């Protein structure tokens, strides 16, 4: 097990909603220093993959009306209230549970990508396919700039 | 008379709305509505049949394994192919890990807080150091405002019966169980490649043979889970049950039970499944054979555009939203009926059917528990809310025990010369197939029709569609609706008792409703952030 993990999140049956998973597969060859997990849904099962890591980066779709094409957030994990259904578990809920168990990774980031089209289909939209090389450049730039 | 609407019900999977009419402190009538749409059947039309088991797993990130396997069985049925024995065993083991994951999660995290009062746990005065630490941790969590999983409780409700010290002990196990459910998923991934959505069990068998290292790692992880199930979860059931014995008389429901059977002992031989298939009807002692031909889905009270009850082999997914009206249409769930009868599915159905079929380990466990609860020789008390809780714990205990045997069998099989894990087959140009299996929550069926080597029609009938279904053509209530009638309600503003009945069925709506509205293309998006 490597100390850092990158997780792809999103529904691969909903077009660009699944960009986190598709993009992670696209950039995987460049990520030799990381464990990668094309998880799709974040569920309670993901807990065991996250605990005791040093740094975790989630890649996920942004809202369609987000003003930027990509965005990077750090999840601080303080005072996150959480609901409880195994389905409604999201990144923040997982972080909160990891805190409760004293297993929270030291740093957690979310790299968001704005989708072009979210609709029931497998695979990315053509527009998104075209952007992949540029998104890869941005992501790798972010990786080298961010201080773990 | 008061109408109480709980929408959404929390600590379940997906979106469920429950409406009950309360009169003189009891539920007089109830309506269960699925309020979320999903379009898996529509997505599948026209696809390569070999894609179906990967697509259907995505119905739900919580229990993808049974959907994947049931879809595999449907295509294997259509293609007339049987996987070799080692593949059958590995599939059992993957399914088993899913059961352990699901039952542990349900017992502690989805259902447990209906019986365990967190606020009372803070009043405990533990002597042990480890319990003191749990109390401090819990207090700090509550103080920081991260009440989190605990926000939806009706703390202090008189229906909570446990003393503070026991509440605290179960909270400690709640935390331990969070790690255990994750461990169970890790075991799924050892053979399955990953979890959620495993990837090694295509129609025909497995993508790769299990290695000796994998078998060893699996076997070690299983030991840990077995210790937890036997020494913690089962003991917690024994501790809790005496305080809640009145719940052995509440929430009986329709009293009809259906199971398609689960855990194969030989390739494609449903009758010899460890938990056998069967139909148990109210008032009848004899177990009947479970036949998929007897299933029809009614839609009179659901949001669909057609009206005739259909067998899933001919089933349609043609949505037509109408106004939510409990007198007319009020759910996206269809109402599956067996020979015209509403059927309860799930762990209780499986355990009762196995008990009636004299499956020895099941009979032994059930009888032992009944004796411990002071109800020797009276399995009738299991037809209740408490019975559904007990059935999940008993099933976990039985399955973990069997899994150890399957691991030993697998080791033996893989050592045989020329051990195979895959049988080749051709996708038929034209054909039909049915996959019948059991998800942790109950009976699961996938119906596939193939034309020109593509999927022409695909229908899933999932556990919660059976359990949380609305009324049918004859106006008979669904099992959950029926179970709610008669439930005592101390305070309609804090309907804890209603939640107990609902949670006892462990509803999972994510796959139960499987329609999007094609006109508006409206889809609920459950986002990770």
Specify whether the CB–CB gap between B466 and B258 falls below 8 A. Answer: yes
pLDDT tens for each residue of B19-34: 888 888 999 999 998 8
- Are B523 and A120 within 8 A, CB to CB? yes
pLDDT digits (tens, 9 = 90+) for A92-105: 777 877 887 888 89
Q: Which residues pair with residue B219 across a beta bridge?
A: none
Q: How far apart are CA B37 and CA A53, in angstroms?
A: 36
Query: The tokens of A104 are what?
Result: 């929270």
Q: Where do the structural domains in chain B lie, given as residue ranges?
A: 2-151+159-512
Alpha-carbon distance of B221 to B182, in angstroms, equals 11
User: Which residues in chain B are closer than 8 Å to A58, comparing Cβ atoms?
Assistant: 528
Match 């290292």 to its residue by tokens: B213
Tell me which H or E stretch contains B370: helix B360-372
- Chain A residues closer than 8 Å to B144 by CB: 78-79
Q: Which pLDDT value is given to residue B138?
A: 85
Cα three-residue angle B53-A48-B222, rounded to 5 degrees: 75
> d(Cα B333, Cα B223) in Å, to the nearest integer?
39
- Asked if residue B181 has pLDDT above 50, the reply is yes
In this complex, the residue of A10, A39, A47 whose CB is nearest that of residue B182 is A47
Cα–Cα distance, B464 to B333 (Å, whole number): 9
| CATH topology for the B2-151+159-512 domain | Cytochrome-c3 Hydrogenase; chain B (1.10.645)
Complete DSSP assignment for B412-440: HHHHSTT---B------SEEEEEEEEEET
Each as own residue / partner, the long-range contacts of residues B291-295 (CB below 8 Å, 24 or more positions apart, any chain) are: B292/B434, B292/B436, B292/B445, B292/B447, B294/B338, B294/B339, B295/B336, B295/B337, B295/B338, B295/B445, B295/B461
- Crossing angle between the packed helical segments A91-100 and B164-192, to the nearest 10 degrees: 120
> Quick one: which of B363, B345, B347 has its CA closest to B355?
B363
Chain A within 8 Å of B133 (Cβ-Cβ)?
no
What was the pLDDT predicted at A89?
Answer: 63
Give the CA radius of gyration of chain B: 22
Q: Which of B7, B46, B61 to mutate to test the interface with A (most CBs of A within 10 A)?
A: B61
pTM: 0.89
Percent of chain B with pLDDT over 70: 92
DSSP for residue B108:
I
Does residue B144 sit in helix, strand or coil?
Answer: coil
Q: Give the closest of B10, B39, B528 to A85, CB-based.
A: B10
Cβ-contact A119, A14 below 8 angstroms: yes
Is the minimum CB–CB distance between B239 and chain A shorter than 8 Å?
Answer: no
Q: Taking residues B487-507, what's their average pLDDT?
A: 90
Confidence of residue B528 (pLDDT cuts 50, 70, 90): very low
- Domains (range + CATH), chain A: 4-145 (3.40.50.1450)
The helix/strand/coil state of A86 is: coil
Q: Which residues pair with B488 in a beta bridge?
A: B26
B295/B312 Cα distance (integer angstroms): 7
ipTM of predicted complex:
0.71
Candidate from B138-152, B247-261, B284-298, B457-471 with smallest mean pLDDT:
B138-152
pLDDT category at B10 given cuts 50, 70, 90 is low
Query: When comparing pLDDT for B220 and A75, which is higher?
Result: B220
| 3-class DSSP state of B30 | strand
Give the pLDDT score at B102.
94
Which residues on A lie below 8 Å from B137 (Cβ)?
A: 100
- Report d(CA B471, CA B457) in Å as an integer: 26
CA B492 vs. chain centroid, Å, equals: 28
Tell which residue, B144, B195, B201, B147, has the closest CA to residue B171. B147
- Whole-angstrom Cα distance, residue A96 to residue A81? 8
Q: Which has the minimum average pLDDT: A132-136, B68-72, B115-119, B362-366?
A: B115-119
- DSSP secondary structure code for residue B477 in this structure: P
The model's pLDDT over A41-95, given as tens digits with 9 standing for 90+, comes to 777 778 888 888 999 999 999 888 888 899 888 877 655 544 455 555 667 777 8
In DSSP notation, B59-84 reads T-SSSHHHHHHHHHHHHHHHHT----
pLDDT at B196: 79
Q: What is the pLDDT of residue B11?
A: 62
The answer to whether the CB of B511 falls within 8 A of the CB of B59 is yes
The pLDDT score that the predictor gives to residue A42 is: 75
pLDDT of residue B300: 95
Q: Which residues of A touch B151 (CB under 8 A)?
A: 81-83
Inter-CA distances, A92 with A24, A46, A62, B87, B334, Å: 20, 13, 15, 38, 34
The alpha helices in A1-148, defined as continuous H runs, are 19-27, 47-50, 91-100, 126-145
3-class SS letters over B270-332: HHHCCECCEEECCCCCCCECCCHHHEEEECCCECECCCCCECHHHCCCCECCCCCCCCCCCEC
CA distance B400 to B435: 24
Closest CA relative to residue B271, chosen from B379, B359, B362? B359
Can you give the pLDDT at residue A7?
Answer: 93
Residue recorded with tokens 């289909």:
A121
Tokens in use for B81? 């192919």
Whether the bond between B8 and the residue before it is cis, its omega within 30 degrees of 0, is yes
The confidence score (pLDDT) of residue B30 equals 92
Are B135 and B167 in contact by the 8 Å Cβ rule? The answer is no
| Placement of tokens 């099933």 in the chain | B395
Contact B10, B506 (CB under 8 A): no
The confidence score (pLDDT) of residue B63 equals: 83
> Could you tell me which chain B residue has the CA closest to the CA of A38?
B194
- Work out the mean pLDDT of chain B and round it to a whole number: 90
Nearest-CA distance B112 → chain A (Å): 12
Average pLDDT for B430-439: 98
CB count, 10 Å around CB of B422? 18
Q: Which residues contact B24 (CB under 8 A, 6 or more apart)?
A: none
Q: Is the pLDDT of residue B513 over 80?
A: no
Instruction: Read off the pLDDT of each residue in A139-143 and give the average, rounded to a whole number.
Output: 91
B13 at A interface, C-beta within 8 A: yes
**How far is Cα A74 from Cα A87, in angstroms, rounded to an integer?**
23
Name the residue among B196, B516, B529 with its Cβ closest to that of A43.
B196
Q: Render pLDDT for B70-119 as a digit per residue (tens, 0 to 9).
A: 999 999 999 999 999 999 999 999 999 999 999 999 999 889 989 999 88
Q: How confident is the model at residue B514 (pLDDT cuts 50, 70, 90)?
A: very low
pLDDT at B330 over 60: yes
């Amino acid at each position: 097990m490597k100390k850092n993990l990158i997780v792809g999140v999103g529904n691969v049956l909903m077009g660009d909603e699944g960009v986190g998973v598709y993009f992670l597969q696209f950039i995987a060859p460049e990520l030799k220093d990381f464990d990668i997990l094309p998880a799709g849904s974040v569920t309670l099962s993901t807990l065991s993959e996250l605990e005791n890591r040093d740094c975790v980066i989630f890649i996920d779709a942004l809202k369609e009306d987000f003003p930027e094409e990509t965005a990077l957030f750090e999840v601080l994990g303080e005072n996150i209230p959480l609901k409880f259904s195994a389905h409604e578990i999201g990144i923040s809920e997982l972080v909160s549970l990891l805190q409760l168990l004293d297993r929270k990774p030291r740093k957690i980031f979310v790299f968001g990508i704005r989708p072009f089209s979210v609709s029931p289909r497998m695979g990315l939209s053509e527009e998104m396919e075209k952007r992949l090389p540029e998104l890869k450049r941005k992501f790798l730039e972010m990786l080298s700039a961010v201080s773990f | 008379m008061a109408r109480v609407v709980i929408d959404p019900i929390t600590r379940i999977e997906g979106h469920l709305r429950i409406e009950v009419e309360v009169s003189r402190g009891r539920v007089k009538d109830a309506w269960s509505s699925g309020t979320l749409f999903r379009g898996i059947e529509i997505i599948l039309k026209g696809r390569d049949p070999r894609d179906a088991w990967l697509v259907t797993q995505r119905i739900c990130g919580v229990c993808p394994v049974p959907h994947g396997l049931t879809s595999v069985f449907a295509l294997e049925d259509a293609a007339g192919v049987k996987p070799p024995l080692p593949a059958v065993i590995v599939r059992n083991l993957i399914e088993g890990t899913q059961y352990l994951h699901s039952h542990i999660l349900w017992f502690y995290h989805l259902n447990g807080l209906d019986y365990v009062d967190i606020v009372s746990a803070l009043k405990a005065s533990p002597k042990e150091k480890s319990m003191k630490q749990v109390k401090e941790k819990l207090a700090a969590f509550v103080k920081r405002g991260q009440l989190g999983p605990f926000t939806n409780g009706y703390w202090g409700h008189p229906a909570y019966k446990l003393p503070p010290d026991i509440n605290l002990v179960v909270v400690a196990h709640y935390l331990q169980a969070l790690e255990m459910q994750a461990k169970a998923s890790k075991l799924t991934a050892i053979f399955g490649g990953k979890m959620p959505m495993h990837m090694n069990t295509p129609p025909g068998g497995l993508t790769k043979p299990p290695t000796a290292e994998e078998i060893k790692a699996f076997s070690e992880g299983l030991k840990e889970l077995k210790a937890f199930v036997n020494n913690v979860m089962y003991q917690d059931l024994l501790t809790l049950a005496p305080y809640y014995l009145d719940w052995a008389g509440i929430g009986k429901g329709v009293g009809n039970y259906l199971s398609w059977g689960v855990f194969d002992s030989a390739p494609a031989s449903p009758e010899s499944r460890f938990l056998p298939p069967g139909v148990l009807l109210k008032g009848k002692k004899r177990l009947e054979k479970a036949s998929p031909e007897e299933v029809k889905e009614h839609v009179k009270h659901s949001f669909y555009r057609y009206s005739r009850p259909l067998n899933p082999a001919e089933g349609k997914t043609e949505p037509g939203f109408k106004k939510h009206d409990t007198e007319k249409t009020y759910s996206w769930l269809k109402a599956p009926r067996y020979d015209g009868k509403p059927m309860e599915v799930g762990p209780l159905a499986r355990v009762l059917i196995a008990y009636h079929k004299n499956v020895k380990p099941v009979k032994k466990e059930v009888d032992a528990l009944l004796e411990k609860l002071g109800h020797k020789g009276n399995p009738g008390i299991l037809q209740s809310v408490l019975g559904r809780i007990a059935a999940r714990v008993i099933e976990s205990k039985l399955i973990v025990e069997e899994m150890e045997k399957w691991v030993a069998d697998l080791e033996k099989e893989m050592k045989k010369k020329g051990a195979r894990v895959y049988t080749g087959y051709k996708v038929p140009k034209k054909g039909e197939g049915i996959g019948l299996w059991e998800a942790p929550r109950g009976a699961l069926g996938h119906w596939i029709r193939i034309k020109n080597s593509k999927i022409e029609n695909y229908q899933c009938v999932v556990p919660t569609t059976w359990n949380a279904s609305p009324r049918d053509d004859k106006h008979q209530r669904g099992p959950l609706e029926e179970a709610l009638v008669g439930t005592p309600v101390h305070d309609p503003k804090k309907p804890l008792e209603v939640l107990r009945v609902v949670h006892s069925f462990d509803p999972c709506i994510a796959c139960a409703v499987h329609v999007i509205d094609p006109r508006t293309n409206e889809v609920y998006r459950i986002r990770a952030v």
